[in-house]
Amino acid sequence: MIRSVKRSGALLFALMLTGCVVQQQTPAPVEPTQPTTPTQPVEPTPQPVPPPQTVPQPPKLKTINWDASVQPLVGKMVQSSGVNPGSVLLVDRIKNSTNGALQTDKATDAIQNALANNGKFTLITTEQLAQAKQTLGLSPDDSLNSRSKAIGLARNVNAQYVLYSNAQGDVKSPTLQMQLMLVQTGEIIWSGNGVAQP
């Protein structure tokens, strides 16, 4: 029995040595490594392009038929009493008192056209008016904007009358007001109102 124990102990010892040898010969398992892929350069994220800025449109000027608008008023003024035929008249540039932009040059031209060959007034020409404004130190584009300025200018050009005109109210359908003034006294001898025609 001692022999069999010795044999089994020797066998066990041999197995242990063999196990150690086997363990020493078997390399430790190596963890597989992931193949490295070359890194791609990172493209910058494109920034959103802002929409192009739209340039605001200038306000559209209301188209008014100035000839049709001023003709009835001028007709009434010429027929008014108290005006001596052949008197010299200064047509002041129309004043814009509306809530928007108005073509005042066209309106003033329409008044002068309506008064051309009227048989009652001799009009101060544009050149005479420009010369008088220069003499008084006023800008050529000065629309006078006050009755006293208009009368002072009329005296300078030896006019007996001034036609002072004003557009007021809503720019889409302004009301025209005209006043015929006696230069010597500043008295308003005729006035009229009318709505501008589109």
What are 12-42's pLDDT values in tens digits?
A: 555 555 554 444 555 555 665 665 665 666 6
Q: How confident is the model at residue 44 (pLDDT cuts 50, 70, 90)?
A: low
Indicate whether 144 pLDDT > 60: no
Q: How sure is the predictor about 148, in pLDDT bands with cuts at 50, 70 and 90?
A: confident
For 18, list phi and psi in degrees, rounded to 5.
-65, -40
Mean per-residue pLDDT, 68-95: 87
Q: Which one has a higher pLDDT value, 174 or 140?
A: 174
Q: Tell me, what's the pLDDT at 176? A: 93
Copy the structure tokens of residue 106. Answer: 């066209």
Each domain of the chain, given as residue ranges in start order, spans 66-195
Residues 6+ apart with CB under 8 A from 144: 92, 93, 95, 138, 150, 153
Task: Give the span between the Cα atoms of 69 and 177, in whole angstroms.
Answer: 11
Residue 133: its pLDDT value, please? Answer: 81
Contact partners, residue 68, CB within 8 Å, separation at least 6: 197
Instruction: Identify the three-state secondary structure at position 163.
Output: strand
- Read off the pTM: 0.64
* 3, pLDDT greater than 60: no
Does the domain made of 66-195 have the CATH classification 3.40.50.10610?
yes
pLDDT in tens, 167-198: 999 988 899 999 999 999 989 999 999 998 88
Q: Which of 38-42, 126-130, 140-144 has the highest mean pLDDT?
A: 126-130
How far apart are alpha carbons 187 and 158 in whole angstroms? 17
